[in-house]
Structure 1
Amino acid sequence: MNGRDAARRAIIIDTPPTSNGDLHVGHLAGPFMAADVYARYLRSNGRPVVFSSGTDDSQTYVLASARRKGLTPEELSGRSWHEIRSTLAGMGVSLDGFAPYDDRYRASVLTFLTGLHRAGKFRERTVMLPYSERRGEYLVEGLVCGYCPICLVESRGGLCETCGHQNNFDELIEPRSTVDPDDVVTHREARILVLPMEEYRERLTAYYREREPRLRPHTMQLVREVLARPLPDFPITYPIGWGIPAPFPETPGQRINAWAEGMPAVMYTTAYAAEQLGERHAADDELWRAEHDPEIVYFIGFDNVYFWGFTHIAALMAHEGRYALPDTFISNEFYELENAKFSTSLGHVLYTKDLLKEVPRDLVRFYLAISCPEHQQTNFSREALVKVAGDRLVRPWNRLAGLLGKAVADSGADGASLPVSDAGRRRAEAVIARFRACYELSGYSLTRAANLIVGQLDRMVREARLVHEDAGADRARLGDLFLDVRVLVACASPILIDLARAAGEAGGFTCGLDAGGFRPGRIAPFALPLLETPAGAADAR
């Protein structure tokens, strides 16, 4: 981390989830865990951070889900907001603020978009949209499905979650209603406002040329594919009945496309979170303004890369230098449940809140980190969680705790500080450097960080066994081991949040990585807290 970055405020965005139900394990394994670990890492280095999210209530997925459940969209989104906030808190996701979808939210969206409208950034277009003959309404986004014109896999309207490409207007092949599959779907003409994406081609190309080294390969593949063809117009308004009413005279009675809310929505959530930290700003977009030079990072699933990586950035660019552009974004692939896709409609789902009732939070976080879908699709298995967390984390940690306790008792060092060697201090610095390589954006990887925890535990257990078996062991060897433990706890603290808290309390230390606290001359031994064995695992003591 260079000097400039160390002083910059980091704005971390967990892209707002759609409020059509609670979060399942697949949601947490992707952007939520990744964003939380990064935020915690930066805070441990003393970086100023604003980490925020909210809900995306305007999505037509809310409307479609509400119709299937027999609820009003307002009822479903309101209930889901509380469920999502509770689940994130239960998982220890350290948001500085989880913003409500309210009048202030809507005002922030309209301020951002009407500024572009006044500046003449939108264009009128006549397009053909899917239309429900039975309901007498246009079908867009979550209300319609069909086959993607790019990869020919089934897709929702607007974007294909398989290949990541946009499918605008009448491009879906064999469109069908997602609420009523027997409905007759035709196409009808509509006059809407769009953001002409092709006008931002050169700036988007330059943006990605600069940021390519930080982006994951699948994301860059999509970027190259998108830029290799004409950029489709981005719809700003739709002739539908759900969402924020569009105030533009050209489109009376229409609503704002939910995806067009993205950038002003996260500016609003940033402002809301900053207020929870005690800050007050005159405008909700203040912290995003270019003169403040924030480091902006957001965490997204691959299926959202097109909108967040193209249309939303073009909308920022359309404000002609007013706002900072995101430094980068961290994408993830899909996470399956027992080797099948998560499906709420088919009942193939595991809600995070239900898992947390049965498995300690740190064990869930560890398993989601080690199995997270960073570069390819991965899988959640309850059996694998029990085995991996038990064998690789709980058993070695508790074994280490037992061995260190016996070694301290045998050496008579209980209550006395222990010397630390130069070699021990050098090892500590090496371990910190390896964890930093996992947490810094240039090589960000939860999987590697979790595996590094495993590797360091294995090393320490072997060393603790040797110290325990050697009655005449040098006290500095034992002191080095306790320094190893402190370093591991600090480096693992963004993932193992409860263990870090308990160990810090037991040892009387904090888990920050910004101070020079890992070169001590002496160190006090302490009792390591034990981890709870996951149900179904072998005895981990």
Structure 2
Amino acid sequence: PAMNTYVVTTAPPSPDADPHLGRLAGPFLGADVLTRHLRQRGHHVRYVGYCDEYSTRVASRAAEAGVTPHVLARVVGDRTGDTLALGAMRPDWFTRPLTDAAHAHWVRRFFLALWEAGALEVRELPVFRCAPCDRHLHEAEVRGNCRHCAAPVDGATCGSCGLPQGPGVLAAPRCAACGTEPGTVLRRRIAFPLERYRERLVAHHDGTRDEAGRRGRARAFLDRLLAAGLPLVPVSTVADHGVPVPLPEWEGHVLDTGFSGIWGLVAATERLAEAYGEKDGALPLWSDPATRIVSFTGVDQLFAHVALWPALLLAEGTLGLPARVVVGEDVRPRDAESAAAWNGDFLRRTNADALRFHLCLTAAEQSEKDPSPADFSLGEYADTVATVLAGGLETWTDTVLDLLAQDFHRAVPAAAPAGPMTAERRELTRRTADALGVGAHAPARAAEALAAAVERALIDVHRLRVLRDAGQEGEYATGLAAHVELLAAFTIAAAPLMPGWSAFLAGELGLAVDRETRLPLWADEDERLVPAGTVLPEAVPVYFHEQA
């Protein structure tokens, strides 16, 4: 296939609370799996993200904790970065805005460009005000119920339905600090008129269907948003914490992080380009029509990824829009036992590849309908490890190597691979390639294909033993060679989901591994992966350990 250039982005986490598995199961794992698969296929990929350290949630939580926003953002941001690294899903560049001036520089640069182009307006907008606290309330500083779905929400976007609340609009509002019902007052703010871009947003999303021609959740969300009405989006607010509005008459105002987000991703791409020694930087990459931008988000940031950020890009006029917006599901612990293992520190006590595989296996596929929130069960996770990985994949691997050692002096038989596992190998390669591409991006389908291949391979191993015991040496040799090829193909296909295990077994099987990506090279479904006569180890160390 033709090689393409991709920019893969993830929704910025707000460092107001410790990271948990629900965040990992959403945009970060999906973006990492896609990035690895694309690189395996030879594409040029830049995977970027940043931590939303200027969020009003940071300032609000810091006040509750009795620390400064910088302290809270540093501590929780460090933990977020550590958790992403433990899960092998940290982006190529993950900006920390409070310590990386490039973020604020690029946000100001694009704000001024939009201001000078007349894309922004100055309006008197309603803002909540708490009289007892003597302060105006923004986003996390006010809580109530979503005006669209009645779910508990703060003054920003609803985490249940994804729709924005609008300035000064919230059902049953209460001050987050004292619980008093606030009033509203008018304040001068800079705003972005989203309604101007209604038709262009519809046209853009109509052109971003999946490989089956389906519209997907992003387009379905846009329909709901259009029905609810495209809001006038505040860009500035009076606050101490944030990127200051770079205009002399707006001292004391900072830029809203909803507005800043897309420019933060461009800034992260610029910093990554600098790290790679690419003198042209981010702008040629983002403005090239051949670059495919793929955005990963959760429900709580659907509004920004589907409407606000594409409209801002349309207003800016030179940068490209996402070719695909992938919406990660909301994953929650099923029970108290699972909740105890829900925080990011669980990755210090378990195998990251096993957890990645299980989260992919139990993920919901992208569809036009919103799925019910998925749940994480520690018991189901332990079952996946016991039956599919430790008791399945490793048992199969050990059996194949043991048979080679017993009957062929550890060397791959000279006979050409044949039998049921040759067809299984072709089917596995095809199914995982289809599932992991940009058009489908269905990691659950890929994980299911891998699990099914293990199950069928274990069954076929018994057939090999029968052939050997019956003295049918020729058919036994060709069948065993086919198992070696299937194991090698499995190692390659599983790399985006289980990169550590894949690199480990690729080394044991002598498979070619790309030096830069550290991924085994993708192979066509009929390409011989382990040549006849290759001497393999008699056994390999245990990689997966069953969960107690």
Instruction: State the TM-score, normalized to the length of structure 2.
Output: 0.90
1:193-232 per-position Cα deviation (integer Å, ceiling 9, x unaligned): 1111111111001011111446774433321111234311
1:423-452 per-position Cα deviation (integer Å, ceiling 9, x unaligned): 665543332111011101222111111111
1:465 aligns with one of 456, 459, 462:
462
1:484-505 per-position Cα deviation (integer Å, ceiling 9, x unaligned): 0000110011111121111111
Query: Alignment length, in residue pairs?
Result: 523
| Residue number in structure 1 paired with 2:385 | 389
CA–CA distance in structure 2, aligned partners of residues 233 and 59 of structure 1: 20
CA–CA distance in structure 1, aligned partners of residues 231 and 341 of structure 2: 35
What amino acid maps onto 1:451 in structure 2? E
Deviation at 1:45, TM superposition (A): 0.7
CA–CA distance in structure 1, aligned partners of residues 523 and 451 of structure 2: 25
CA–CA distance in structure 2, aligned partners of residues 426 and 220 of structure 1: 38
What amino acid maps onto 2:489 in structure 1? V
| Residue number in structure 2 paired with 1:328 | 324
What amino acid maps onto 1:62 in structure 2? V
CA–CA distance in structure 2, aligned partners of residues 512 and 393 of structure 1: 19
Mapping for residues 163-242 of structure 1, pairs under 5 Å: 163-178=161-176, 180-213=177-210, 217-242=216-241
CA–CA distance in structure 2, aligned partners of residues 316 and 122 of structure 1: 13
- Pick closer, same or farther for the CA change 1:349–1:187 going to 2, 3 Å: farther
1:155 aligns with one of 153, 156, 159:
153
What amino acid maps onto 2:386 in structure 1? G
| Residue number in structure 2 paired with 1:273 | 272
CA–CA distance in structure 2, aligned partners of residues 332 and 340 of structure 1: 23
| Residue number in structure 2 paired with 1:444 | 441
SS at match of 2:25: helix
| Residue number in structure 1 paired with 2:116 | 118
1:126-164 per-position Cα deviation (integer Å, ceiling 9, x unaligned): 111111223332211122111211112221112111111
Contact 1:125–1:192 (CA under 8 A) maintained in structure 2: yes
Of residues 325-334 and 422-431 in structure 1, the stretch that sits farther from structure 2 once superposed is 422-431
Q: State the identity %.
A: 22
| Residue number in structure 2 paired with 1:478 | 480
CA–CA distance in structure 2, aligned partners of residues 473 and 442 of structure 1: 44
Mapping for residues 505-524 of structure 1, pairs under 5 Å: 505-510=507-512, 512-516=520-524, 518-520=526-528, 522-523=531-532, 524=534
| Residue number in structure 2 paired with 1:367 | 358
Deviation at 1:80, TM superposition (A): 2.1
SS at match of 1:419: coil
Deviation at 1:417, TM superposition (A): 4.8
Of residues 180-189 and 11-20 in structure 1, the stretch that sits farther from structure 2 once superposed is 180-189
- Pick closer, same or farther for the CA change 1:333–1:12 going to 2, 3 Å: same
Contact 2:405–2:411 (CA under 8 A) maintained in structure 1: no
Deviation at 1:308, TM superposition (A): 1.3
What amino acid maps onto 1:362 in structure 2? D
Contact 1:165–1:226 (CA under 8 A) maintained in structure 2: yes
Contact 1:237–1:251 (CA under 8 A) maintained in structure 2: no
Residue 263 (str. 1) matches residue 262 (str. 2): yes
1:307-363 per-position Cα deviation (integer Å, ceiling 9, x unaligned): 11101110000012x011110111022111125899xxxx977222x2122211111
Deviation at 1:410, TM superposition (A): 3.2
| Residue number in structure 1 paired with 2:125 | 127
CA–CA distance in structure 2, aligned partners of residues 341 and 466 of structure 1: 41
- Pick closer, same or farther for the CA change 1:349–1:315 going to 2, 3 Å: farther
CA–CA distance in structure 2, aligned partners of residues 35 and 223 of structure 1: 22
| Residue number in structure 1 paired with 2:92 | 96
CA–CA distance in structure 1, aligned partners of residues 178 and 330 of structure 2: 26
Contact 2:436–2:446 (CA under 8 A) maintained in structure 1: yes
| Residue number in structure 2 paired with 1:497 | 499
| Residue number in structure 2 paired with 1:71 | 67
CA–CA distance in structure 1, aligned partners of residues 261 and 127 of structure 2: 22
CA–CA distance in structure 2, aligned partners of residues 493 and 525 of structure 1: 23
| Residue number in structure 2 paired with 1:356 | 347
| Residue number in structure 2 paired with 1:539 | none
After the TM superposition, which parts of structure 1 deviate over 6 Å for at least 4 consecutive aligned residues? none
Contact 2:430–2:525 (CA under 8 A) maintained in structure 1: no
Deviation at 1:413, TM superposition (A): 4.2
Residue 403 (str. 1) matches residue 405 (str. 2): no
Residue 61 (str. 1) matches residue 57 (str. 2): yes
Residue 25 (str. 1) matches residue 21 (str. 2): yes
| Residue number in structure 2 paired with 1:415 | 411
SS at match of 2:455: helix
- Pick closer, same or farther for the CA change 1:64–1:311 going to 2, 3 Å: same
Deviation at 1:422, TM superposition (A): 6.4
Deviation at 1:24, TM superposition (A): 0.8
CA–CA distance in structure 2, aligned partners of residues 397 and 212 of structure 1: 35
What amino acid maps onto 1:480 in structure 2? A
SS at match of 2:207: helix
**Could you say what the CA RMSD is over the residues aligned between the two structures, in angstroms?**
2.3
CA–CA distance in structure 1, aligned partners of residues 331 and 119 of structure 2: 38
What amino acid maps onto 1:189 in structure 2? L
Contact 1:205–1:227 (CA under 8 A) maintained in structure 2: no
Of residues 33-42 and 76-85 in structure 1, the stretch that sits farther from structure 2 once superposed is 76-85
What amino acid maps onto 2:273 in structure 1? A
What amino acid maps onto 2:107 in structure 1? V
Mapping for residues 133-144 of structure 1, pairs under 5 Å: 133-144=131-142
Of residues 507-516 and 165-174 in structure 1, the stretch that sits farther from structure 2 once superposed is 507-516
SS at match of 1:228: helix
Residue 43 (str. 1) matches residue 28 (str. 2): no
Contact 2:206–2:215 (CA under 8 A) maintained in structure 1: no
Structure 1 gaps, min length 5? 537-541
1:15-56 per-position Cα deviation (integer Å, ceiling 9, x unaligned): 221122331111101111111100000111111111111211
SS at match of 1:158: coil
CA–CA distance in structure 1, aligned partners of residues 501 and 215 of structure 2: 31
Contact 1:23–1:87 (CA under 8 A) maintained in structure 2: yes
Contact 2:12–2:50 (CA under 8 A) maintained in structure 1: yes
1:373-402 per-position Cα deviation (integer Å, ceiling 9, x unaligned): 444311112122111221122201122123
Contact 2:58–2:72 (CA under 8 A) maintained in structure 1: yes
